[in-house]
Amino acid sequence: MNTNEQELWQRIEAILDRALEVEGDERDALVQEACGSDTGLLARVRELLNATGEAGPLDKAMQDLAGPLAVAAGEALAMPGQIEGRQVGPWEIIQEIGSGGMGRVFLAQRADGAFEQQVALKILRWEMATPSLIERFRTERQILADLDHPGIARLVDGGLTGEGLPYLAMEFVDGEPIDTYCDRNRLEVEARLEMFCAAAMAVEHAHRSLVVHRDLKPSNILATGPGEVKLLDFGVAKIVDAAARDDLTLAHAAPATPRCAAPEQLDGGAITTATDTWALGVLLYELLTGSTPFAGSDATEVARQVLEEEPAAPSFHATALRGDLDNIILKALSKEPERRYGTVERLVEDIRRHLDGMPVLARPATFSYRAEKFIRRHRLALTGTAMTLVLLIGLTGFYTWQLANERDHARQETRKTEEIADFVLSLFQINNPTQSLGKEISARDLLDRGAERIDLELESLPDIQAEMYLVVGGLYEELGHYEKAIELWEKAIALHRALPDPGHEGLSASLSRYGFVLGELGQVEAAESALREALQLRRANETDEDAIANSLNQLGMHLSYGGEYEEAEAMLRECIEIRERIHVDETPSLATAIANLGLTIKWRGDFDQAEVHYRRSLAIRERTIGRMSPEYANNLDNLGVLLGQRGDHKESEECFLEALEIRTELLGEEHPDVALSVNNLATLYRVQGLFDEAEPMYRRVLDLNIRIFGPDHRRVATNLTNLASLELARGNIDEAREMFERSLAIRRKNLGNEHIEVA
């Protein structure tokens, strides 16, 4: 089979996998959408679908393609009257008990009389006997051979039929789908949780064997008794560390069951153990509510909901689930894999905590997180900082109204996210967000109005008020109004300390943000005190270790900026150790910590080791989020700076150019991150004496940053310093002095006279 034919069959197989899971009009719509305008592909897929469902004569073209042995097997297994009594290896078929996209399943018994045993005999469909699917069948056999757990159906035997088709003889499980079992026995919530935990620990065993199932759903989890389940069907499983075998699974990355598919399965992201965690979240949601979290009218609509919408809280369907179970399920259903449970075992542990009446690790999504997610989803619709401020100020009023109506439950009812988003989207119909009584209002004015509304309208809701101070303080910071940001964060910290039942995470989050900006302003001791308190709080309260790692990363970088490299390096290494331990797979946050460690090591003078860490971080970025991402571009910039400092100007330029290309494509030419890449490239040209190439780049960056941030922002000061250095190198002393003086004035205005950048 040539390359083109192999590629065609990979497309056909992927479509068939999905189409065979649905029926009727839904199947036809799915196939037409998948094939698009390729009428030849559509015809072949329909022929194969007809072949799987009809017992009549076989299509001649299919016979030619499949080969005579496969056709013989297909004919022998196609007629119901010929199934019973047929022998396959040492097994005699009793009856057909199921079928799927790849194969048919038969109840069979031992035929050689050595001992009595019944098995589920899975045989690859003759019309699916392509080389890649045969290899995939063998992969499933190897996966099952490596798994030994009471919650996973055992592999008993495997081989080839007399006609050359592969088969698997599996432990026969006399059970029923887990949801059917729970409903038929009218199990209460606690009993359903026990059933779920049994299934989840079987999945955890597979993960420890480096296997991701990728198609967890009720029909693949059979219940055999109270607290007893068997996990079935590893036909689309992935061996997570076997790079050489990735092609056997990734060619069929399209999810077999759209309603259970994780976002990364739908948008081409990395498939990891977190993918199974999502599917378990869907399963738990369905077991406890009787409803599915994403209930579109067809597969396309379900996929859109999975990618774009937040599910209603489980308590929307069953009020008894409000609280811990809402939070546990919605954590498992986080859109971002890194926000789900680090392992399935941790998910089970949280359920056990709930059953034992202990505090759980899962928490509702904070308002600041929801606001950040909304802004990211609608980045193109936002017309700048002012629009973001309008969004948040309007959001404050709407959120207050919601709280007045449902104060007791407002923080936990995540279905409000959709209502809030609908409200905020209506703000985009304003043609000019700075219109008010015929006068233009600055972004600072909008922020001040928002802060005033928080003061007045949220006074009776101190926990929400503190959260909003944190959010709006961050916006002041983005505009360079650090004093006002600090004022709001100090209010947030005071409110958190005064709450009758203070939540340590709210306080530690406020301290972290507060400490970071104090460090930026040169208030080193106060910054370190705040960051250390945040870390201490998180350690003392046994916070989710991800949060502890975040504090270690932040404090480590603060110490590194202050020249305390030894303690900084120790903290960053602990951060990396935690993230490597709690996440089975590599994560973007791990890449960040490794890059920060590289920066610290570079600052203490070890460029070789720094480069090792930079390149490792870059590789993790590529594997986890891909090259076309802002984070990957950030890593390229860091590596480019290091290489330039070592004198490797050619590779440094390549890094900067690739970062610039990525950022321009993702963010557009008028984005501050694009300006960073242009600035780095200009600096590289300047140090090589290529002044004519560097100058227009520097001036482009200066103009862009003035438009975005205003003439008194610290980035503008940096741009002026760079231009001054260029003019000084050219011998233009007067021009250089004027730019240095402008830069110094901006820094004094923002940072004060004592900051290291001023002194």
Q: Residue 158's domain is classified under what CATH number?
A: 3.30.200.20
CB 311 within 8 A of CB 330: yes
Q: Tell which residue, 135, 123, 173, has the closest CA to residue 249.
A: 135
- In this structure, are 213 and 322 located in the same domain? yes
Lowest mean pLDDT among 67-76, 384-393, 499-508, 672-681: 67-76
642, part of any domain: no
| 347 shares its domain with 214 | yes
The verdict on residue 429 lying in a domain is no
693-732 burial, b at 16+ Cβ within 10 Å, e below that, comes to ebbebbebbbebbeebbbeebbbbbbbbbbbbbbbeeeee
* Structure tokens, 119: 């098995």
In this structure, are 103 and 235 located in the same domain?
no
537-575 burial string, b = 16+ CB within 10 Å, else e?
Answer: bbeebebbbbbbbbbbbbbbbbbbbbeebeebbebbbbb
Task: Supply the range of the domain harboring residue 713.
Answer: 657-759
84: how many CB neighbours lie within 10 A of its CB? 12
Residue-wise pLDDT for 230-241, tens only, equals 998 765 555 554
pLDDT range class, residue 243, cuts 50, 70, 90: very low
Cα separation values, 294 from 10, 258, 341, 539, 576, Å: 28, 10, 20, 37, 35
Planar angle of CA 656, 595, 551, nearest 5 degrees? 135
- Average pLDDT over the chain reads 77
pLDDT at site 590: 92
Query: 315, 335, 355: which is the final residue of a domain?
Result: 355
Domain match, 222 and 326 both: yes
Asked which of 320, 336, 355 is the last residue of a domain, the reply is: 355
Q: CB neighbours of 174 closer than 8 A, spacing ≥ 6?
A: 224
What are the beta bridge partners of residue 225?
Answer: 228
Three-state DSSP at 162 gives coil
Same domain, 250 and 119: no
Does the pLDDT value for residue 655 go beyond 50? yes
Residue 147 lies in a domain: yes
Within-domain flag for 465: no
Mean pLDDT of 741-751: 84
Average pLDDT estimate for 634-647: 92
426-463 pLDDT per residue, tens: 233 333 333 333 344 466 777 787 788 888 877 888 88
* 282 and 214, same domain (yes or no): yes
Determine, yes or no, domain membership for 117: yes
Give yes or no: residues 208 and 322 share one domain: yes
Pick from 172, 191, 226: which residue ends a domain?
172
Q: Looking at the predicted structure, is the pLDDT value of residue 347 above 70?
A: yes
Say yes or no: 192 and 301 in one domain: yes
* Residue 502 within a domain: no
Q: What local confidence, expressed as pLDDT, does residue 571 receive?
A: 96
Name the pairing type of β-strands 211-212 and 238-239: antiparallel
Cα separation, 227 vs 50, whole angstroms: 40
Instruction: Answer yes or no: is pLDDT of 647 > 70.
Output: yes
Measured CA to CA, the distance from residue 157 to residue 159 in angstroms comes to 7
Residue 428 is predicted with a pLDDT of 31
Does 720 reside within a domain? yes
- How many domains are there within the chain? 3
Q: What is the CATH number of the domain that holds 667?
A: 1.25.40.10
In sign, the C-alpha dihedral spanning 505, 511, 514, 517 is: negative
Q: Regarding predicted confidence, which is higher, 198 or 410?
A: 198
Higher per-residue confidence, 712 vs 656? 656
pLDDT at 576: 94
Out of 143-147, 263-267, 276-280, pick the least confident: 143-147
- Among left, alpha and beta (phi > 0; psi -120 to 50; other), residue 177 is beta
- Would the pTM of this model clear 0.75, i.e. be above it? no
Q: Same structural domain for residues 197 and 332?
A: yes
The answer to whether position 507 is within a domain reads no
Do 210 and 159 lie in a common domain?
no
Tens of pLDDT along 671-722?
888 889 999 999 999 999 999 999 999 999 999 888 877 888 888 888 999 9
Strand partners, 157: 169
Q: What is the CATH number of the domain that holds 326?
A: 1.10.510.10
Token pair, residue 47, equals 């022929």
Residue with tokens 């779920």: 196
For residue 692, the tally of other CB atoms under 10 A from its CB is 9
Share of the chain above pLDDT 70, in %: 75
Predicted confidence band of residue 421 (pLDDT cuts 50, 70, 90): very low
Task: Kindly compute the dihedral angle of the four CA atoms of residues 654, 657, 658, 663, in this order, to the nearest 10 degrees.
Answer: 160
Please, which residues bridge with residue 88 across strands?
A: 91
Q: For residue 230, is it left (φ>0), alpha (ψ between -120 and 50) or beta?
A: beta
Predicted local distance difference test score (pLDDT) of residue 328? 94
Give yes or no: residues 225 and 167 share one domain.
no
Give the number of C-alpha atoms closer than 13 A to the C-alpha of residue 568, restricted to the C-beta side: 23
**Domain co-membership, 334 together with 242:** yes
Answer yes or no: are the C-beta atoms of 588 and 558 closer than 8 Å: no
464 has a pLDDT exceeding 70: yes
